[in-house]
Amino acid sequence: MVVPERMSLTDIQTRIAQAEARAQRAPGSVHLIAVSKEQPEARVLPVLEAGHRVFGENRVQEAAGKWPDWQNRFGKVELHLLGPLQTNKARQAMALVDVIHSLDRPKLAQALARLAQEIGDCPQLFVQVNTGMEPQKAGILPADADQFIAECRALDLPVIGLMCIPPVEEDPGPHFTHLAQIAQRNDLTQLSMGMSDDFETAIAHGATHIRVGSAIFGARR
């Protein structure tokens, strides 16, 4: 696998703006989620100091260990949970994050709906779709997506869009196209797709949320 070269936040922002322009999309229509999982504080603080306030994490436990302190120092940050969520961590996740990108099964939908009723609030949700149909990967299968989205809506869950992680060895373009099609036929406007290696392709295919880690912070250990 190619390890992306480290770049500054402003370089990434410039590349996003150029990709938006090439796709004839409005400036600022793409949200940059800086994925800080497994990154040391020395790499995260400069991005906070530069004023960035949208971050992504993979694990509830790890995020809970870092972000309360950083938010005390830098103020409110919009936190996105990107990794698989176990139902027994759902309550903690809901208290900590603003957006969950990994809603991928009925059992989790039911747990979130129950908690949302109890708490009176719920993070915004992306349904994760396993567009590559990889057995080891999380996500609802494309064939089951329409029904699952309907189930989530029947539970009053605030589903705003779809998320995918294309197979590493494949051209991501067709996966992004497929995700956009499923979103469109379900009247969902938000698309969480694109990472360090393919965010410009994702923007060309309509991504509204890109999840960029190593290209901002450097390679993870």
CA distance 175 to 167: 9
**Is residue 213 at the binding interface for ligand PLP, with CB under 6 A as the rule?**
yes
Of the candidate residues 58, 130, 131, 208, the single one contacting ligand PLP (CB under 6 A): 58
**Is residue 196 at the binding interface for ligand PLP, with CB under 6 A as the rule?**
yes
Of the candidate residues 103, 164, 183, 195, the single one contacting ligand PLP (CB under 6 A): 195
**Is residue 207 at the binding interface for ligand PLP, with CB under 6 A as the rule?**
no
In the complex, the smallest distance separating the C-beta of residue 5 from ligand PLP, rounded to whole angstroms, is: 12
Of the candidate residues 165, 180, 182, 202, the single one contacting ligand PLP (CB under 6 A): 165
Provide the Cα torsion 213, 217, 220, 221; round to 10°. Answer: -170
Using alpha carbons, list the distances in angstroms from residue 72 to 4, 63, 65, 91, 148: 31, 14, 13, 21, 38
Q: What angle do CA 25, 29, 32 make, to 5 degrees?
A: 125
**Is residue 97 at the binding interface for ligand PLP, with CB under 6 A as the rule?**
no
In the complex, the smallest distance separating the C-beta of residue 173 from ligand PLP, rounded to whole angstroms, is: 17
CA distance 161 to 79: 16
CA distance 43 to 122: 30
Where along the sequence are the contacts to ligand PLP (CB under 6 A)?
35, 37, 58, 82-83, 165, 195-196, 211-215
